[in-house]
Amino acid sequence: MESFFGRHKNATVLAAVLFAQLLGLATQIKTQTDRGSVRLVRYWAVAVVTPFEKGLVYTQDGIKRVWTNYIYLRGVRQQNEQLQQQIDQMRIQQVRLQEDADQARRIQALLAFKEQYIAQTVAAQVIGTSGTEQSRIISIDRGSNNGIKTDMAVITPDGIVGKILTVYPTTSQVLEITDPMSGVGAILETSRLMGILKGSPTGLPYLDYVMSDEKVQVGENVVTSGGDGIYPKGFPIGKVASVGPGRDLYLKVPVKPAAALDSLEEVLVITQVVDKSPDTTNLGPIRAADILAQRLPSVPQQKQPAASPVVGEAPATPSAPGAAQPQTKPPAAQPQATPPAKQPQAKPPAAGPDKSKPNQPVAKPKTPVTQSAPPQGPRP
C-alpha cells in the first residue's frame, strides 16, 4: 500500500487537494450562507489587499488634488466666468422647473400618490475590483462603519452601478449590473415595456422577458422600474444597443449602461429611501386653474417673451437658491393666466438636465419636501 502511494505520490496529493476543494465547494452550495455573513477566508483576503489599494488610491488622489488645486490653474478665471454664466442660466431654468414641480406635487397630492425619495446617500471611492471577467464586482472605501448594508443601491449621477454585495467594517463590495449574477427590474422609458436587466459574461447586460411581438427602438432609454425593491424607480440604466431574438418567445435586448462602469472613481450608496406623499403645505391652495390646466387640451405657446421677464428678474436677486423662493410666486401667476401654455414651455428646457423628466423624481435626493429647498442632484 505504501509503495502505491509512494509511486503515485503526485497524483495522490493532487486528488486529495481537488477532493478537499470540491467538498468545500459542495458545502458552500448546499448550505447557503446568510446574507451579510462573510467567510473568514474572504475577510482575510480583503484585509490583506484593501489597505494597499486604499493607500494607493488616496496617494493618487492627494497628488491629483494638489496638482489641480494649487499648481495647474491655467484657464481657471475663464472657466469661472463660464460657470457663472451657467449658474445664471440654470437659475432661470430652476424658476420654470420649480413651477412645474409645484404643480406636479399638487396633482400628486390630489391623487394620494406616494413617491420614493432618497433621504440619504454616502459618497464612496472605488479602490479595487475582483480582477476577473467572471466576477464583475468593485470594492469601495466605505463599510459597515459608515452605515452601509447589503442590498443597498449604488449609483452615479449618470445611472445605476449595482448593489452592495458584501460589507466589511471599512470596505464593501459592489455587484455591478453587468455581472452575470445581477438582475435589475427595468422598464423602457418610451414604450413602458417591463423586463429584467441581466448581466452577461461579455460585460454587456441585456433586457430579458420582453415579448418578441413588442417593438423596441434602438437607442431607447431604459430606467429602473422599482420592482426589485433595491433600486428606486426611474433611475437611468442605459440605452438599448440592439434588438435581437432571444430564448423562447422573448427578445434579447442588449443595453449599454448609462454609468461609465469602465472608469468609475466615485459612487453614491443610497443608504435611506423613504416613501411619502409630496408635501404641499407651502404650495398654497390648489387653484381651479391648476386642475383645469391638466384637463383641458393644451395650446402650444407661440412666443418666447413670456419667459423673458422672469429670466431677467431671477438673477437680479442675489439670493441663495433657497431664498429665491419668494420670487417664484409672481411668475406662478403667468402660467395661471395661460394655463395650457405651461406644459409645452416646460419640455424644451428639460432637454438639458434629464433629471427634469417626470419619471425621474427619485434621481433627486433631498428633493424638497418643503418648498424652501430647490430640486438638486444627488449629494452625499
Minimum CB distance to another protein, residue 33 (Å): 10
Q: Which of 1, 5, 7, 29 binds another protein (CB under 8 A)?
A: 29
Burial class (CB in 10 A: 0-12, 13-18, 19+), 74: exposed
DSSP string, 302-334: --STTTHHHHHHHHHS---TGGGHHHHHHHHHH
How many other CB atoms are there within 10 angstroms of residue 138's CB atom?
22
Minimum CB distance to another protein, residue 126 (Å): 6
Complex with another protein: residue 245 or 322, whichever CB lies closer: 245
Q: Which of 7, 56, 72, 87 binds another protein (CB under 8 A)?
A: 56
Complex with another protein: residue 214 or 228, whichever CB lies closer: 228
CA atoms of 335 and 341, how far apart (whole Å): 7
Residues with Cβ within 8 Å of residue 254, at least 6 apart in sequence: 204, 205, 206, 207, 240, 241, 242, 244
| Contact status: 48 vs another protein (CB under 8 A) | yes
| Contact status: 37 vs another protein (CB under 8 A) | no
Please give the DSSP secondary-structure letter assigned to residue 70. I
Part of the chain binding another protein (CB under 8 A), chosen from 81-89, 128-136, 149-157, 190-198: 128-136
Pairing between strand 236-240 and 160-167? unpaired
Q: What is the dihedral of CA 222, 223, 226, 229, to 10 degrees?
A: 80
| Contact status: 127 vs another protein (CB under 8 A) | yes
Q: Which of 2, 34, 248, 262 binds another protein (CB under 8 A)?
A: 262
Q: Which of 2, 3, 37, 41 binds another protein (CB under 8 A)?
A: 41
CA atoms of 51 and 108, how far apart (whole Å): 48
Please provide the distance, in angstroms rounded to a whole number, between the alpha carbons at the two ends of the chain: 67
Part of the chain binding another protein (CB under 8 A), chosen from 18-26, 281-289, 321-329, 350-358: 18-26
Q: Which of 181, 296, 323, 337 binds another protein (CB under 8 A)?
A: 181
Complex with another protein: residue 10 or 302, whichever CB lies closer: 10
| Contact status: 25 vs another protein (CB under 8 A) | yes
Q: Which of 79, 145, 190, 202 binds another protein (CB under 8 A)?
A: 202
Q: Which of 94, 121, 166, 225 binds another protein (CB under 8 A)?
A: 166
| Contact status: 154 vs another protein (CB under 8 A) | no
| Contact status: 165 vs another protein (CB under 8 A) | yes
| Contact status: 53 vs another protein (CB under 8 A) | yes
Minimum CB distance to another protein, residue 235 (Å): 22
| Contact status: 131 vs another protein (CB under 8 A) | yes
| Contact status: 267 vs another protein (CB under 8 A) | no
Binding residues with another protein: total (CB under 8 A): 51
Q: What is the dihedral of CA 97, 98, 99, 101, to 10 degrees?
A: 90
Select from 122, 224, 119 the least CA-distant residue to 167: 122
Residues with Cβ within 8 Å of residue 144, at least 6 apart in sequence: 167, 168, 169, 172
Beta partners for residue 236, in sequence order: 223
Beta partners for residue 251, in sequence order: 210, 245
Rounded to 5 degrees, what angle do the CA atoms 45, 151, 159 make?
105
| Contact status: 24 vs another protein (CB under 8 A) | yes
CA atoms of 115 and 362, how far apart (whole Å): 8
| Contact status: 31 vs another protein (CB under 8 A) | no
3-state secondary structure of 82: helix
Minimum CB distance to another protein, residue 331 (Å): 47
| Contact status: 83 vs another protein (CB under 8 A) | no
Residues that bind another protein (CB under 8 A): 9-10, 13-14, 17-18, 21-22, 24-25, 28-29, 39, 41-42, 44-46, 48-49, 52-53, 56-57, 126-135, 137-139, 165-166, 173, 175, 179-181, 200-202, 262-265
